[in-house]
Structure 1
Amino acid sequence: MGPDDGPGAAVAWRKVLWERQPYPDNYVDQRFLEELRRNEGLRQYRYWAVVREAGLVGQQLSCVAIFITLWLYMEQGLLSPGTLLLISLASSLLGYGLYQALASQAEPVLQPRTCWADLQSVTIFLSFIFGFSPVLKTLTESVSTDTVYAMSAVMLLAHLVSFPYTHTSPPGSLSLNAALFASVCLASRLPGALHTFTMLSCALMVFALWPCLLRRVKNGAPHHFAAVCVGVCAAGVGGLASRWPGGAVILALALATVILLCPWLLVQLQRHKDNIHGPWDEAEISEDLSHFLQ
């Protein structure tokens, strides 16, 4: 309805509610659309920047693939628990040293007392796992193997879905617990208690310690973050290819979709985004008046 169609066209219409006006309730004039705003605050994404962020999702998929690869080698007797323990210990020491080296200037330098506290925590966790390994080994004896594999798959999927990709340090409790539950299920199908202890130790390193180190790399050495993600993805695909070629193909397709295709779709769909804002939006308290209401 235009300004000349109102019953009281000689009276200027005002957008107020506290006085009666000779206009219908749904009346607006030509100034109504002057306040129309499109795509206010729209964030423009750059393809390679989105690919870099999507690399975090891809490397987490690869971490799960690496863990499954280690389990396959252990389950098939191609990797002894002693060898894997030595590799895990060396990797943990190297990662801890790198974690300390990448400490930002805003964070205090760790004192020997703090390093000693970290050593105590690791000792307690490993002692606890080693002591309960015989119990964990027989935990799922009464459960069928197919059920154990199904539970492990569901828990690993829950780990990937609930993983806090925006804040990877420390890992989310739900994500970490789901990964550890899947690790216990898979480790219980290994030949001995030492195999179970080794597998659970690797699970802690992959699902609990690695995300903290990756976060430090992303903040302290952002130029190397992409190379680290590529290396982890290559290790995941290569590891699966050595024992499960079909799984490696599926993982490669999933990585290509998540890292390359999905960011491209996001950037392309940004062109078609059309959000409108205007006087019909809900009223918001301005920052100038908010302090009066506190």
Structure 2
Amino acid sequence: MSATVEGGSSSPTRPRWREVAYGGMQLGFDDNHTGETFLADMVMNANVVKRDLLKVMQDSISISQYLCIVALVVLVWTYTLRSTMNENSLLILDGTLLVSRFLILILTEEMLSLGLLLHYFLNISFFTTGLYVLAPIYQTLTRSNSSDSIWAATFSLLLLHLFLHDYSGSTIRNPGALKNPNLTSCISLNASVVASVFIASRLPSRVHVFAIMLFSLQVFLFAPLIAYCMKKYSFRLHLVFSVGLMAVTLAFVYALHPLVFVLLLGIFIFVTVVCPYWLIGLQECKFEINGPWDEAKLCFDITD
């Protein structure tokens, strides 16, 4: 005989489902059960950043600026290999770059002290002495290799350098920086150094090798630092310097070869105008869905 309650029901009430991160299965519900408000918290494109075309174009100028710097280095290499620039001209250029770098650092870097300047001066002294001692080794390093192989390797290394270069920061650690450059920046710098050694190994004298190596390493090591300090000091100064550098580079390239001038001008337009417009257009194709199905982010309230 079953016991019944008169005027009532014998079925138990169903427990309420609760949304918990780590609670295991709940009685009466499947493991993949979702509540009625599961899709109410769905958000479309929550993390998509709306970019301004003018701001992206201004940021892309840093890339064009460094392309100009590398193009000027290649121009100096070309004129040196053609004997248009002799060793005296290269040494004067090296001294001018060295003095200019220290002046720009003094004028733009607020955290620069006399002790840090002395540290830089000692490092440059050891660096220059080491280059002069190693110049005979660099001169004979690729004597057994053909020139075509050297040009192809140098071109490939420069492409690798441009592809891996950190255009938002500095190749070496700037004063006051909290972290060192990343691995790709170091690989990029090493590629430029090896390319410089390959070019120096094709020069006729020890002084030529020393001068071109000093010039190349000054540019590849310290030009990103100078550009970074200048941009941090004044963005308007950064823009004026970049536009002037583009004009000077294009003028020298045109004097070398008009076809190279057209190619370089097209690269500048593509990097500064086409790529930012392309990026802004691709932002409209961004489709991202966020909701309760994403990985839970636990927040712990720690009170004293």
For Structure 1 versus Structure 2, the TM-score category normalised by the shorter chain is: 0.7 to 0.9
Pairing partner for 2:192 from 175, 179, 190: 179
1:225-249 CA distances to partner (integer Å, 9 max, x unpaired)? 1122222223333322222333222
1:77-112 CA distances to partner (integer Å, 9 max, x unpaired)? 1111211211221232122112111122xx2x412x
Relative to structure 1, the CA distance from residue 12 to residue 213 in structure 2 (aligned partners, 3 Å threshold; closer, same or farther) is same
Partner of 1:4: none
How far apart in 1 are the matches of 2:245 and 2:143? 34
Partner of 1:110: 113
1:263-289 CA distances to partner (integer Å, 9 max, x unpaired)? 111112222322110011111222x35
**Deviation at 1:201?**
1.0
Q: Percent of counterpart pairs with the same letter? A: 26
Partner of 1:275: 288
1:63 aligns with 2:66: no
How far apart in 1 are the matches of 2:290 and 2:237? 41
**Deviation at 1:26?**
5.1
Structure 1, gaps ≥5 residues long: 1-9
**Deviation at 1:215?**
0.7
1:18 aligns with 2:25: yes
Amino acid in structure 1 at the alignment position of 2:281:
Q
| More divergent stretch after superposition (242-251 vs 146-155) | 242-251
After TM superposition, list the pairs within 5 Å mapping 1:38-187 onto structure 2.
38-104=44-110, 107=111, 109-111=112-114, 113-170=115-172, 172-187=185-200
Partner of 2:176: none
What root-mean-square deviation, in Å, do the aligned CA atoms of Structure 1 and Structure 2 show? 2.4
**Deviation at 1:14?**
4.9
Give the structure-1-normalised TM-score.
0.86
**SS state of the match for residue 272, structure 1?**
coil
How far apart in 2 are the matches of 1:53 and 1:99? 22
After TM superposition, list the pairs within 5 Å mapping 1:254-293 onto structure 2.
254-286=267-299, 288-289=300-301
How far apart in 1 are the matches of 2:201 and 2:171? 28
**SS state of the match for residue 39, structure 2?**
helix
**SS state of the match for residue 281, structure 1?**
coil
How far apart in 2 are the matches of 1:15 and 1:116? 63
**Deviation at 1:125?**
1.1
**SS state of the match for residue 35, structure 1?**
coil
After TM superposition, list the pairs within 5 Å mapping 1:26-45 onto structure 2.
28=34, 30-45=36-51
How far apart in 2 are the matches of 1:29 and 1:268? 38
The count of corresponding residues between Structure 1 and Structure 2 is 278
**Deviation at 1:190?**
2.0
How far apart in 2 are the matches of 1:229 and 1:191? 34
Amino acid in structure 2 at the alignment position of 1:140:
T
8 A contact 2:77–2:199 mirrored in 1: yes
1:20-67 CA distances to partner (integer Å, 9 max, x unpaired)? 22x665554542210101121332211121112111111222211111
Structure 2, gaps ≥5 residues long: 1-13, 173-180
Larger Rg over CA atoms: 2
**Deviation at 1:73?**
0.7
Partner of 1:252: 265
8 A contact 2:25–2:31 mirrored in 1: no
1:159-215 CA distances to partner (integer Å, 9 max, x unpaired)? 112212222151632221110100110121122222211111111121111111111
**SS state of the match for residue 250, structure 2?**
helix
